[in-house]
Structure 1
């Protein structure tokens, strides 16, 4: 029996997700450098997450220009709904940064490095020159690898930073499981052609690779006061 679109994607991701989880574990290791790494994490995640709403809005708009396409209406509806669910999450990171002792302006003024542009920018390419359904692979990875329940509390204890500095970690641990289930249902109802299923998978696998690189850079970054870049 052939797998559903969601099942096939989850199977492919199960083969590479251990690499991503290992990179994340190196970021969260409990040692003297954890507070600095967490501040790097906030900067990097702000650079990534502030692109989420614009990406989804652009993908939804592209759906509306595709002409007769059975994917376009349900995909656009999902993206418009999910846009509102994700709106303002970049502001959560600014609030966490302030609670951690980092001026929010340091996050908004930082120049996004090339590896962040590679992670996010590939989605713009596929939206414009492939099909906006590619974005579902990106979303599947980001929401399928939500912070573990309890991570926020562990980080607060290990870093000595206020618990209010970890609200984004806590909230995403609570929210993203439900969002992943919504995405699986969408994937299994969309009339995807084989090439479109492949595009979603390519997008997802690229996202795993690029996100693991991002975490590795955070894990090995110098103390935040010594460098303005992750």
Structure 2
């Protein structure tokens, strides 16, 4: 069994728990409000804008023995540059003021997930950051395109309100293949355990963002 297979097996319960979150299931079935989608995009902006800084921090702290991984991090950085602007474009297409969205405060659940990512890199094993990559990219491939098509139909929003979801549903298929090949090169047991532990935590933390979305619907609907 490859390490990637071990990782998926070890995190199966956490992944299933996150996907079972009511608002995710509602989105897949088309039972979602415009405010729900705006809330999702707003929180996505607040964590996506940290992706490149987190990758930079991870690359800077990797030990010399993982120089090959630092090279891969550089490739990730090139791919991820500017994605937060896609999210803002979608918010504008939904009728939200761009500056107001960018200046808004993230939900506590979003702050905690971002803070845990920085803490993993700075205080624990920086390789653990790839547990977050598994959660966010794996979830995108599994759900993004399907959810975008259902939400577009149910809410009647224009196609240009879904650039982030649609691009990540398609784009991350290639990313996941790249990730699988990369992660299978990790041979140190401590590195492997760091990725598994972080992935379990990030499934909970990312799920908490979805669970908190409807708590922010009211003011986001007013902002739109």
Asked if TM exceeds 0.5, the reply is: yes
Partner Cα distance (1:202, 1:18) in 2: 16
Q: Which moved more, 1:149-158 or 1:219-228?
A: 219-228
Correspondence for 2:206? 211
Question: Aligned to 1:7, which of 5, 18, 32?
Answer: 5
Which ranges of structure 1 fall in alignment gaps of 5 or more residues? none
Pairing 1:33-48 to 2, within 5 Å after superposition: 34-48=33-47
Pairing 1:6-85 to 2, within 5 Å after superposition: 6-23=4-21, 24-27=24-27, 29-31=29-31, 34-63=33-62, 66=63, 69-71=64-66, 73-85=67-79
Shift of 1:221: 4.2
Runs of 4+ aligned residues of structure 1 deviating over 6 Å after TM superposition are: none
**C-alpha RMSD over aligned residues:** 1.8
TM-score normalised to the size of structure 2?
A: 0.90
For the structure 1 residues 196 and 154, does the alpha-carbon distance in structure 2 shift closer, same or farther, using more than 3 Å as the test?
same
Correspondence for 2:194? 199
State the number of aligned residues.
219
Correspondence for 1:142? 136
Partner Cα distance (1:221, 1:19) in 2: 22
For the structure 1 residues 179 and 171, does the alpha-carbon distance in structure 2 shift closer, same or farther, using more than 3 Å as the test?
same
Larger helix share, 1 or 2: 2
TM-score normalised to the size of structure 1?
A: 0.88
For the structure 1 residues 182 and 226, does the alpha-carbon distance in structure 2 shift closer, same or farther, using more than 3 Å as the test?
closer
Contact 2:91–2:161 (8 Å) recurs in 1: yes
Partner Cα distance (1:19, 1:36) in 2: 24
Partner Cα distance (1:223, 1:105) in 2: 19
